[in-house]
Structure 1
């Protein structure tokens, strides 16, 4: 007969389970709103015979980039719990709660560890702190086709863009299968070609997208195009793409597909 470890509380499992893996405690925002935090921390350790094995506790900040007052209150309550736990547990008990937004907006030294996420890309979840960071990721593709299109030509699926005059259109080897948002179709998105901003025209397709390169001189098939990043004095930042696509910066950077080659420098 085997024991169902998923169904049994941690404090009811054999002690050998806890010996091989130190216990981490996660406090929910709902728990932190309880008036008596001292009873919460006391209950936690009274119920567990392996309390001395606990090494760290954490919670999650749901609105750290939206509601500073709520977040500040959450941090105060969490700190009270941690102080109570440290008074009962010998040794160096660790606590962590601040993620990217919290690390920028609040004092990182309040706790022992920070959980840096999107700021590792040099992208700030709070616009007012972006000047302190430098984006480290550039997303590039190449031109696969260039054609001069007469006035009245429809571009891409659905004929959602019709050239208002003669235009030079370049096809890029990237699409929504690579993670470039389909929602950027006909929303004023731009890419960088030889340091110039070029408008995305028509719908983004699975593997291709089209841009207006009428003002770019000496363009050649195979030229690099920056989808996100800097080229000369121009930049297409992650926040710009996210805003135009109606999404968040986290989705932009995490949806870049596996077939996009990574180069680490």
Structure 2
């Protein structure tokens, strides 16, 4: 006879770790980008909207009057189309030959980084011309035409009836690090941009990422491309207050153990220096919480108190010291990062950057949209 315990109706259990995505914060940060720049905004939502969820983020931004949503490849653009998103996807970076027919057929906007792309898109656009931007390499070294190559690129486009040049773009590699170079780069870009024929309207001119729009001004640009800023994280720590972090990474206490002084915790057996109340949390590097945060003074927020991480981060669990908490129980929430524990600070401890920490949160972490 089958055990009746296995026949009981059950509800789906909650996840051990989840990310709360505050979509109103996303819209707030978009408003900040518009106010700071005074220009149109291309929302950069590549890499699953920096880990926040591609489709849900796009649905929130669709209808906000944006000319483009910035994606990394045709696959991300396809997901937007299948989700019913109306805002035009803009393919950031060079395209593969295998992607180009799909890009052309769907009216997505590529940025032209090579003569090969110009020739190929011209062929694909003979029946219906393709709207495209020209990529300028003013210092990134990752793609686009160097200043001395631009006349040849423009001549190729002029003789390509299958292409409508509707914009130009470049990228700032050190806007959050090197002010002198960045100002020189923007000046070079503006000088070049002023010479580009604008035969189609609208014609978008863009170079500024989040750091660029917060700190610098281009005299020719009419479009900015915020990524990190949209998700509520500033590339400049002293400018963080005007933004609202969109993602809060959370987990729960699984069990609380009373451990004696000298007892080891986690892999490598970090020895306790006192009798310790140790809480086990259901998150680890398998969820994207970096192992490099181990033994770095990392803290987790539980019931309003910052609790230090004990020992090494493991694949599925971490251990934190809750000795100083007056009260905590299994099932209590723990916040790994969010508005009160900025991911940039965590990234610094991990020897990383906030872009990486946000995008490496794995699918095992459920996204909850608020």
**Could you tell me the TM-score, scaled by structure 1's length?**
0.86
Residue 333 of structure 2 corresponds to residue 248 of structure 1: no
Structure 1 unaligned regions, length at least 5: none
Structure 2 gaps, min length 5:
1-96, 99-113
Offset of 1:92 from its aligned partner?
A: 3.0
- 170-179 or 39-48, which deviates more: 39-48
Count of matched residue positions in the alignment of Structure 1 and Structure 2: 251
Retained in 1: the 8 A contact 2:187–2:218? no
Partner of 2:260: 150
Go from structure 1 to structure 2 and tell me whether the alpha carbon gap of 1:14 and 1:132 turns closer, same or farther (over 3 Å shift): closer
Distance change (3 Å), C-alpha of 1:44 and 1:203: same
CA–CA separation in structure 2 for the residues paired with 1:199 and 1:30: 42
What is the deviation of 1:74? 1.1
Which string of whole-angstrom CA distances, capped at 9 and with x for unpartnered residues, describes residues 191-236 of structure 1? 0110000000011000000000011123111110001124xxxx32
How many angstroms apart in 1 are the aligned matches of 2:180 and 2:115? Answer: 38
Q: Tell me which residue corresponds to 2:303.
A: 194
CA contact (8 A) 2:301 2:334 kept: yes
Residue 9 (1) aligns with residue 120 (2): no
Residues in 2 aligned to 1:90 and 1:226: alpha-carbon distance in whole angstroms: 50
- 1:79 matches 2:184: no
The answer to which structure, 1 or 2, has the higher relative contact order (CA under 8 A, 6+ apart) is 2
Distance in 2 between the 1:227 and 1:13 partners?
47
SS at match of 1:29: coil
* RMSD, aligned α-carbons: 2.5
Contact 1:176 1:182 in 2 (8 A): yes
Under a length normalisation based on structure 2, what TM-score does the superposition of the two structures give? 0.63
Per the TM alignment, residue 152 of structure 1 is displaced from its structure 2 partner at its CA by 1.0
Per-residue CA distance 1:158-207 (angstroms, 9 max, x = gap):
11x21111110000000000010101111100001100000000110000
Structure 1 residue 101 corresponds to structure 2 residue 211: yes
- The answer to whether 1:47 aligns with 2:145 is no
Measured after TM superposition, the shift of residue 89 of structure 1 is 2.5
Give the superposition deviation at 1:14: 7.8
